[in-house]
Structure 1
Amino acid sequence: MNTTSDNSPHGRQKAGLVLAGLYSLANIPSAFFPAPDGEEGPPLEILVIGSLLGVVGLVAVVLAWRTGNRAALRVAAGAIIVVTLTGLPAFFVDVPAGIKLLVGLSVLLTIATVVLMFSPTRRPEPVLD
């Protein structure tokens, strides 16, 4: 009996899921390390949202990896997209260039991750005799 399903993630989707999992995992501790007093940084509410979305994204990645569930794939993508959107105000306020660079890299990472997660499977073309 074959236990694999047609919905199981393939190579590119697995790569996207790994990136989404790592990105989600990196966001989980953000609420525990707010900006020190007197320094600029994201509000604590944004950090808490990022941590919660990190947990949601990580759980969704695990479910999508193990079951191939398309809804879990969408939730994982949505979680990393919203986390990335919360960083975009950094482009419009006076913050160090290094922070703007990190936000820009997170935008590129999110785009690449979502593209990989939803990439179609390659099906061999039929050979015509």
Structure 2
Amino acid sequence: MFSTKNKVGLVLAGLLGLSDVPQFLMPTPDGETGPPYGILVLGSVCGVVTLVAVVIAWTREHRGAVRIAAGARVLSMLSALPAFFVDVDAPIKVLAAVFVVVTIVSLVLMLSPAARPAHVTD
């Protein structure tokens, strides 16, 4: 049985995944600094995988699906880290930082131990 923390983590992961899906539709314009198109496609795939895994985890309370969602979120987060090491505008770095922090929070919440039923003693 999932705890409230687990469910909040799943919701955050679902929202992050939902924000990742349309990435491949917004390629970096020529002459501007931004992620390569392959990274955008990877982000979109991670978003779809996250959404599917979150739905399965939520509806079936399946811990394996939680791990898949967490793996997709980690991969998506890792693809955002280069923003800290290249010359991009400050708002983009702030957005990447918020994305990384929210991803870490969702991972901690999703992967925290699930609620255990209390033992009834006679």
TM-score by length of 1: 0.86
**Offset from partner CA, 1:39-59 (integer Å, 9 cap, x none):** 211000000000011101100
CA distance in 2, matches of 1:125, 1:30: 44
1:25-77 residue CA offsets vs partner (Å, 9 max, x unmatched): 10000001111222211000000000011101100000000111111000000
The gaps in structure 1 that reach 5 residues or longer are 1-7
Whichever residue aligns with residue 98 of structure 1, its letter is: P
1:9-28 pair list within 5 angstroms:
9-28=2-21
TM-score scaled by structure 2? 0.91
State the 1:22 CA deviation: 0.4
Partner of 1:110: 103
Residue 3 (structure 1) aligns with: none
Match of 2:45 in 1: 52
Q: Given the alignment, which residue of 100, 106, 120 partners 2:113? A: 120
Distance change (3 Å), C-alpha of 1:37 and 1:22 = same
Structure 1 residue 121: Cα displacement: 3.8
Match of 1:55, as an amino acid? Answer: V
Q: Which residue of 2 aligns with 1:4?
A: none
Q: Which amino acid aligns with 1:112?
A: V
Matched residues, number: 121
Q: CA–CA distance in 2 between the matches of 1:29 and 1:84?
A: 16
Structure number with the bigger relative contact order (C-alpha 8 A, sep ≥ 6) is 2
Larger proportion of helix: 2
Unaligned runs of 5+ in 2: none
Counterparts of 1:124 and 1:18, CA distance in 2: 23
Query: Which residue type is aligned with residue 40 of structure 1?
Result: T
CA distance in 1, matches of 2:81, 2:75: 10
Asked if 1:34 corresponds to 2:27, the answer is: yes
CA RMSD after TM alignment: 1.9
